Structure 1
Amino acid sequence: MEIEQVLDNALRKAAAIWVEPSGHEPRLVWALWRDGAVLVAVGGTEQVVPGLADGVACTVTVRSPTTHSHLVDAPATAHLAEPDDDTAKALKAARLNTRPEWESVYRLEFA
């Protein structure tokens, strides 16, 4: 099975992933799988991910949402993104129990 298919299958179901920016400790974050990439909102009232910046190499670790077993580690590159209206709505909808206000959104694209 190709890594893209494994990622697609895993990330459609995962609400949280581990993100490890180069040179930093891994951090469990909520994320949104959209258009073949992971979106991570940071700052403001959202999560903090030390080391996450435009152009930074990251490792994304996905675990099974049901068994919590390790599914895949995948290299990615973070890109600062300006979400369009549909993407911003999807990010807000993914945070059902909060009023999200973020400073930045990163699109983690897989190599």
Structure 2
Amino acid sequence: MLDNALRKAAAVWVAPDGHPARLVWALWRDETVLVAVGGTEQEVPGLRDGVACVLTVRSPSTHSHLVDVPVTARLVEVDEDTAAALRTARLNTTPAWESVYRLEVS
């Protein structure tokens, strides 16, 4: 269910441990969720490498709640292929992020 939901989701809610959830733009790539934060993208207080989070996915069509999943945020080095995928997926703007995190299912 998570795989299918994330393939269709353009945004997810991320709640780092001890912080409220924030809506962030997301990219499902290579069987993982990538979120770009900072810069012109959403800030997520408390998001850092190794922090436990709750990932919430909602239906892109009905906005109804689909699933909550415990994840761990991992800071990633963005290579050119990943940067290109992030820019391509963000159709309505030219993104300028400070950090990219991979959200690993705990």
1:82, distance to aligned residue in structure 2 (A): 0.7
| TM-score, structure 2 normalization | 0.95
Distance 1:86 1:8 in 2: 21
1:16 to 2:16 alignment:
no
TM-score w.r.t. length of structure 1: 0.91
State the partner residue of 1:3: none
2:26 equivalent to 1:35:
no
After superposing on structure 2, the runs of 4+ consecutive aligned residues of structure 1 that deviate more than 2 Å are none
Q: Which amino acid counterpart does residue 106 of structure 1 have in structure 2? A: Y
Q: CA deviation at 1:96?
A: 1.1
Which of 43, 46, 52 is the aligned partner of 1:51?
A: 46
Superposition deviation, residue 52 in structure 1: 0.4
Match of residue 65 from structure 1: 60
Q: How many positions carry a matched residue from both structures?
A: 106
Aligned 8 A contact 1:75 1:110 in 2: yes
* 1:84 Cα deviation after fit: 1.6
Give the structure 1 partner of residue 70 of structure 2: 75
Q: How far apart in 2 are the matches of 1:29 and 1:16? A: 5
Q: From 87, 92, 96, give the equivalent of 2:91.
A: 96
AA aligned to 2:65 is: H
SS at match of 2:43: coil
| 1:45 Cα offset (Å) | 1.5
- 1:7-33 Cα offsets, whole Å, 9 max, x none, are 110000000111000000000111001
| Residue 87 (1) aligns with residue 74 (2) | no
Residue 82 of structure 2 aligns to a residue whose secondary structure is helix
Structure 2 portions without partners, runs of 5+: none
